């Protein structure tokens, strides 16, 4: 059955579609332009914008994949993302679950103390001193432990747990289940939307992080991909790629430094873009339910 709309509603919808289309285009075009640049040969001017380069080549990607430090960065970033996301999720769930219970003694106090850290922190220098004193400097764990518990994610998970009916837990306790059994058998399976949302948030945060690696890691074999990408983008040149493990015998006449930078960015961005669609469908339900009850 067709829905009849007034003239005002039709105009409103048309304006919304146009605005959303322009907004989407403004987000897609820079990425597409970067993708096109990554396939451009050295003869294509880097100062022009084009939908697709007139002369294409795969040599830029061959040069990127021939750089051993790119693979080292990939390995370190994957380790950081997988281990950091898993440990952060475990920590957030086990802190959020007791804080979601009204019978927890001094629940408001503990929640306030944790929320306090969202607005105030010791700063960069005390954190650096703490990492050095804990013997974590130049260790991969220095990129994971200082941000193990994200307060915002924990609050979102806590609010989602509070939306689950208490009757489910009460019936489980009657059957003899303890708190841990209830958490793993009932609460977590019912909380998959918010867990998937937090997993993606945390994974993206770890994947894109570079500043802490720049501060805490001095060993080049432990640097994450984004730090290596930063060096290539800021200091990028064919000589830098070669000195950092590129194939010195490769032909350089068909590649340019700007195309190498673009190809490196695409390679570093693609994995998280591939993972995003599989978890995106849980965003609306997870975030809305997790933010309604406080």
Count of domains in the chain?
1
pLDDT in tens, 210-245: 899 989 998 888 889 888 888 877 765 555 555 444
Q: Are 278 and 206 in contact (CB under 8 A)?
A: no
- At residue 22, the pLDDT reads 93
Task: Return the pLDDT at 243.
Answer: 45
Residue 143 in any domain: the answer is: yes
Neighbours of 165 (CB within 10 A): 9
Q: Is residue 43 part of a domain?
A: no
Question: What 3-state class would DSSP assign to 219?
Answer: coil
Tens of pLDDT, residue by residue, the chain (294 residues): 556 777 888 888 899 999 999 999 888 888 888 888 888 887 777 677 777 888 888 888 888 888 888 889 999 999 999 999 999 999 999 999 999 888 889 888 998 898 888 888 888 888 999 999 999 999 999 999 998 998 999 998 998 898 888 888 888 888 888 888 889 988 998 888 888 889 888 998 999 898 999 899 988 888 898 888 888 777 655 555 554 444 444 455 567 778 888 888 888 888 888 877 776 666 655 555 545 444
In angstroms, the CA 283 to CA 201 distance is 10
Q: Is 19 contained in some domain?
A: no
Residue 27 lies in a domain: no
Length of the chain: 294
Question: Does the residue 8 lie in any domain?
Answer: no
Tell me, rounded to whole angstroms, the distance of Cα 134 from its chain centroid. 26
Asked if residue 186 is part of any domain, the answer here is yes
Domain interval for residue 102: 59-294
Nearest of 149, 135, 150 to residue 216 by alpha carbon: 135
CATH number of 255's domain: 1.10.3720.10
Does the residue 30 lie in any domain?
no
What's the rounded Cα separation, in Å, for the pair 32 and 262? 11
Give the pTM: 0.80
For helices 107-119 and 151-162, give the axis angle rounded to 10 degrees. 140
pLDDT at site 282: 64
Is 251 contained in some domain?
yes
């Amino acid at each position: 059955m067709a829905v009849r709309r007034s003239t005002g509603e039709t105009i409103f919808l048309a304006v919304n579609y146009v605005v959303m289309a322009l907004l989407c285009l403004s987000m897609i075009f820079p990425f597409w332009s970067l993708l096109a640049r990554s396939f451009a040969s050295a003869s294509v001017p880097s100062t022009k914008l084009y939908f697709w380069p007139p002369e294409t080549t795969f040599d830029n990607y061959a040069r990127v994949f021939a750089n051993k430090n790119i693979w080292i960065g990939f390995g370190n970033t994957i380790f950081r993302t997988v281990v950091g996301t898993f440990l952060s999720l475990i920590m957030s769930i086990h802190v959020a679950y007791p804080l979601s219970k009204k019978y927890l003694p001094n629940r408001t106090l503990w929640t306030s103390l944790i929320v306090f850290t969202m607005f105030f922190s010791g700063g960069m220098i005390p954190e650096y001193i703490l990492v050095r004193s804990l013997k974590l400097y130049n260790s991969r764990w220095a990129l994971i432990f200082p941000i193990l518990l994200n307060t915002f994610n924990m609050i979102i998970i806590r609010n989602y747990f509070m939306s689950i009916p208490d009757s489910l837990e009460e019936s489980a306790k009657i059957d003899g289940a303890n708190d841990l059994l209830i958490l793993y058998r009932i609460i977590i399976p019912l909380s998959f939307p918010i867990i998937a949302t937090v997993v993606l948030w945390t994974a993206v945060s770890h994947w894109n992080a570079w500043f802490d690696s720049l501060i805490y890691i001095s060993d080049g074999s432990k640097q994450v991909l984004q730090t290596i990408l930063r060096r290539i983008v800021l200091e990028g040149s064919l000589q830098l790629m070669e000195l950092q493990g590129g194939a010195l015998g490769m032909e350089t006449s068909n590649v340019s430094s700007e195309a190498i930078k673009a190809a490196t960015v695409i390679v570093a961005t693609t994995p998280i873009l591939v993972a995003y669609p599989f978890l995106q469908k849980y965003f609306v339900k997870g975030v809305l339910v997790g933010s309604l009850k406080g």
